[in-house]
């Protein structure tokens, strides 16, 4: 074997190359060591950053660092509380609660961007017309916005504007100057919104990312590519976005002065969450998101300190958490901290109330609900990261009734077997096999399917699980062709109306009421409560509705989610928030601690 052999030389060069390129230097090391960089991951791809089209949590969590709304949630206070963001204060509301007058802050500017040709790229001041323009874009049928549901039927004249855009032929431009009765800007910093009907949830929706103002110049400059060129008023601007790979944002130098909150919830001071009180936001100079769709690599880069925070994938739960739901000592030794919080979510098996077998057979639905041992389900499928549900409203909400016990949600196979006999009588003979449609065919979905099959078999009911992908599943429920379906709901805002709309008869499929549940009493109560401002009386109405729904049993209510999140101790001011997304501005990094731990 001679070293003059060219094959050997090539192999040697390759080996040296591989070792040289992969072995030298750490991954993602910063040249500028004083720069405060936050490392994050995303488990799904960001679809786009135009607020009008954002309907998924991944895109929201990123774009909300760039765009802001009239209102935002207080970062620290619990229960969740709204505070003004782009609005100077809370609105003035007319006596009939149909006219809202918002005063805007006058120190807000869009970030610099080449789209502002009139000012040679310098971002201009935010004005009330930017909101009107953004909301008309959502109404414009041609834009196929995901978020028309936010405004539909509420703002005077906006539905008519939508109808007008729908009548235009291909190639005809929408006239955005066309007046809308309910949207007026008497001056640059005043926005008047007139409603068709009372809308107590309006401020929650005005803290929802899709309602963020958009600069007309940006839309005109970038056209359809606006999804890749977000121009907002928020604390960060987009520096780099490689789709499916990474996103980098840097501090917006034109961000107005906003201060870290000086008060929080009980225990926040002791937890060090008020150490930066009164200081100007943001603290982080640069945020880097790595898109990692698989659990193992995400977990490994977190454990190596390449991420500042992470959730706990199911398969790695036992490595991090002890049976007593505490962080294991070896994790604590690494400087990792655990935060546990309730999710605004409920998961269920829904019944299609228009199905001839399950829809007209209450004992059957009740029997199926009683057949599932929720505690066992929680242990097996969530590593105890969930709470047994008694109804649709999760514990996080003011309208949640902690004393309510739903007999249909109690594991009771004996009673379920009795109910099944009644169900057979109602059906008029032996019950056929019930088909449960399930989104996904991965291991977890199949394990859940097997569990439910076994649980139903235990009471003498045959079920078939139909595994399918998400679009097929959507098709099944939206066309009312599913018999029973596995799904859940994560609230958009802290008002139980968001859950109760799912049982309103005017929302049946393809609307959000996928149960196709119809109950005139629930409808009347929903309409009454929806129009009422928050009060004890409204809470009672929600309790009443929930009691009726529990008894009618249009769903097997399973669990409410509980989230576990890990973060290193160098990540400061970290407090999970389930409704707000633009939270990066509050967080901080202790660079010295991180450098000592992982060398960057």
Partner 1 sequence: MTSYIIRRLLYSVPTILGILLVTFVLFNLIPGDPSYELAGKSASAETIADIRHELGFDRPRFLDTEALSQGRIAAAFDSQFFNHFRNALTLNFPRSLTSYEHIWDEIRSRAPASLSLAVPMFVGLVVTSIAIALLVAFVQGTWLDTLLVFICVVGMSIPMLSYILFGQHYLAYELGWFPILGYEPGAQAFKYVALPCLLGIFSGLGSYVRFYRTVMLDEMRNDYVRTAFAKGLSSPRVLFKHVLKNAMIPIITTLVLSIPFLFLGSLLLERFFSIPGMGSYFIDAFNSRDFPVINAMVFMTSLLYVLGQLVTDICYSLVDPRISLR
What are the residues binding partner 1 (CB under 8 A)? Answer: 17-19, 21-23, 27-28, 45, 47-48, 50, 53, 55, 141-142, 144-149, 152, 162, 166, 224, 227-228, 242-246, 290-294, 296-297, 300-301, 303-304, 306, 468-472, 474-476, 478, 492, 501, 507, 510-512
Nearer of residues 143 and 519 to partner 1, judged by Cβ: 143
- In angstroms, give the least distance from the CB of 451 to partner 1: 24
Nearer of residues 176 and 493 to partner 1, judged by Cβ: 493
- In angstroms, give the least distance from the CB of 346 to partner 1: 14
Nearer of residues 147 and 366 to partner 1, judged by Cβ: 147
Rama region for 411: left / alpha / beta (φ>0; ψ in -120 to 50; rest): beta
- In angstroms, give the least distance from the CB of 518 to partner 1: 15
DSSP symbols for 350-409: EE-TTSTTTTT-HHHHHHHHHT--HHHHHHHHHTT-EEE-SSSS-TTSTT--TT---GGG
Are 560 and 373 in contact, with CB atoms under 8 Å apart?
Answer: no
At a CB cut-off of 8 Å and minimum separation 6, what does 193 contact?
Answer: 99, 100, 101, 102, 155, 182, 183, 202
Nearer of residues 178 and 304 to partner 1, judged by Cβ: 304
Nearer of residues 78 and 246 to partner 1, judged by Cβ: 246
Render the burial of 268-287: b for 16+ CB within 10 Å, e for the rest: beebebbebbeeebbbbbbb
How many whole angstroms separate alpha carbon 505 and alpha carbon 534? 23
Are 193 and 182 in contact, with CB atoms under 8 Å apart?
Answer: yes
Nearer of residues 88 and 531 to partner 1, judged by Cβ: 531
- In angstroms, give the least distance from the CB of 362 to partner 1: 27
Nearer of residues 412 and 513 to partner 1, judged by Cβ: 513
- In angstroms, give the least distance from the CB of 577 to partner 1: 20
Rg (CA), the chain: 27
- In angstroms, give the least distance from the CB of 22 to partner 1: 5
The vertex-515 CA angle with 510 and 517, nearest 5°, equals 105
- In angstroms, give the least distance from the CB of 559 to partner 1: 19
Nearer of residues 319 and 425 to partner 1, judged by Cβ: 319
DSSP symbols for 249-302: EEE-TTPPP-B--S--STTTTTTTTTTTTTPBSP--SEEEEEE--SHHHHHHHH
Nearest residue to 134 via CA among 86, 176, 186: 176
At a CB cut-off of 8 Å and minimum separation 6, what does 4 contact?
Answer: none
Q: Kindly list the strands in the beta sheet with 92-93, ordered across the sheet, starting from the edge strand earlier in the chain.
A: 92-93, 99-103, 190-194, 183-187
- In angstroms, give the least distance from the CB of 287 to partner 1: 16
Nearer of residues 475 and 590 to partner 1, judged by Cβ: 475
Backbone angles phi, psi at 380, to 5 degrees: -75, -45
Q: Which two tokens stand for residue 192?
A: 């008047």
Nearest residue to 580 via CA among 301, 155, 261, 314: 261
Nearer of residues 69 and 291 to partner 1, judged by Cβ: 291
Backbone angles phi, psi at 87, to 5 degrees: -75, 145
Q: Per this entry, what is the length of the chain? A: 600
Nearest residue to 532 via CA among 201, 82, 39, 292: 201
- In angstroms, give the least distance from the CB of 298 to partner 1: 8
Nearer of residues 401 and 475 to partner 1, judged by Cβ: 475
- In angstroms, give the least distance from the CB of 526 to partner 1: 14
The vertex-552 CA angle with 197 and 385, nearest 5°, equals 90
Nearer of residues 294 and 326 to partner 1, judged by Cβ: 294
- In angstroms, give the least distance from the CB of 369 to partner 1: 24
Nearer of residues 29 and 33 to partner 1, judged by Cβ: 29
Task: Calculate the CA dihedral of residues 384, 385, 390, 395 and round it to 10 degrees.
Answer: 140
Sign of CA dihedral 179, 180, 182, 183: negative
How many whole angstroms separate alpha carbon 150 and alpha carbon 456? 39
């Amino acid at each position: 074997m001679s070293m003059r052999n060219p094959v050997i030389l090539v192999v040697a060069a390759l080996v040296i190359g591989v070792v040289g390129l992969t072995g030298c230097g750490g991954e993602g090391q910063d040249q500028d060591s004083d720069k405060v960089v936050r490392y994050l991951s995303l488990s799904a791809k960001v679809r786009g950053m135009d607020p009008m089209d954002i309907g998924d949590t991944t895109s929201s969590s990123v774009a909300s660092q760039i765009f802001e709304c009239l209102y935002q949630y207080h970062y620290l206070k619990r229960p969740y509380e709204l505070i003004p963001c782009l609005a100077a204060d809370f609105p003035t509301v007319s006596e009939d609660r149909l006219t809202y007058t918002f005063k805007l802050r006058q120190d807000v500017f869009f970030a610099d961007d080449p789209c502002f040709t009139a000012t040679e790229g310098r971002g201009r001041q935010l004005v009330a017309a930017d909101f009107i323009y953004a909301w008309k874009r959502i109404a414009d049928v041609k834009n196929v916005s995901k978020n028309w549901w936010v405004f539909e039927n509420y703002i005077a004249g906006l539905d008519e504007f939508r109808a007008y855009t729908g009548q235009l032929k291909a190639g005809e431009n929408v006239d955005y100057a066309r007046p809308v009765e309910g949207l007026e800007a008497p001056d640059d910093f005043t926005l008047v919104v007139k409603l068709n009907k009372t809308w107590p949830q309006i401020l929650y929706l005005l803290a929802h990312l899709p309602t963020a103002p958009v600069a007309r110049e940006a839309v005109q400059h970038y056209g359809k590519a606006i999804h890749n060129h977000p121009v907002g008023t928020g604390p960060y601007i987009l520096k780099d976005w490689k789709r499916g790979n990474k996103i980098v944002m840097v501090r917006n130098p034109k961000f107005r002065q906003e201060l870290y909150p000086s008060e929080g919830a009980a225990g926040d001071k002791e937890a060090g969450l008020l150490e930066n009180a009164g200081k100007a936001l943001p603290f982080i100079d640069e945020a880097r998101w790595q898109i990692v769709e698989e659990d193992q690599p995400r977990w490994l880069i977190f454990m190596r300190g390449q991420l500042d925070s992470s959730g706990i994938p199911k398969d790695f739960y036992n490595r991090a958490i002890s049976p007593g739901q505490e962080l294991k000592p070896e994790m604590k030794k690494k400087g990792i901290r655990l935060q546990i919080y309730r999710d605004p979510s409920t998961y269920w098996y829904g019944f299609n109330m228009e199905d001839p077998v399950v829809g007209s057979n209450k004992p059957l639905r009740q029997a199926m609900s009683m057949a599932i041992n929720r505690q066992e389900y929680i242990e097996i499928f969530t590593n105890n990261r969930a709470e047994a549900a008694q109804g649709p409203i999760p514990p996080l909400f003011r309208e949640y009734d902690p004393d309510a016990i739903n007999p249909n949600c109690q594991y009771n196979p004996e009673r379920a077997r009795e109910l099944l006999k009644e169900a057979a009588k109602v059906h008029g003979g032996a019950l056929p096999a019930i088909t449960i449609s399930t989104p996904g065919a991965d291991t977890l979905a199949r394990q859940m399917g097997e569990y439910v099959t076994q649980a139903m078999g235990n009471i003498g009911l045959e079920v078939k699980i139909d595994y399918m992908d998400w679009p097929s599943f959507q098709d099944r429920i939206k066309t009312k062709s599913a018999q029973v379906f596995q799904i859940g709901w994560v609230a958009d805002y802290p008002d139980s109306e968001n859950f109760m709309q799912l049982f309103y008869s005017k929302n049946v499929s393809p609307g959000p009421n996928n149960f196709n549940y119809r109950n005139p009493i629930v409808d009347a109560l929903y309409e009454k409560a929806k129009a009422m401002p928050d009060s004890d009386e409204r809470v009672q109405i929600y309790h009443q509705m929930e009691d009726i729904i529990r008894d009618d049993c249009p769903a097997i209510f399973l669990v409410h989610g509980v989230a576990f999140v890990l973060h290193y101790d160098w990540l400061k001011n970290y407090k999970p928030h389930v409704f707000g997304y633009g939270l990066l501005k509050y967080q901080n990094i202790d660079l010295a601690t991180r450098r000592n731990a992982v060398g960057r």
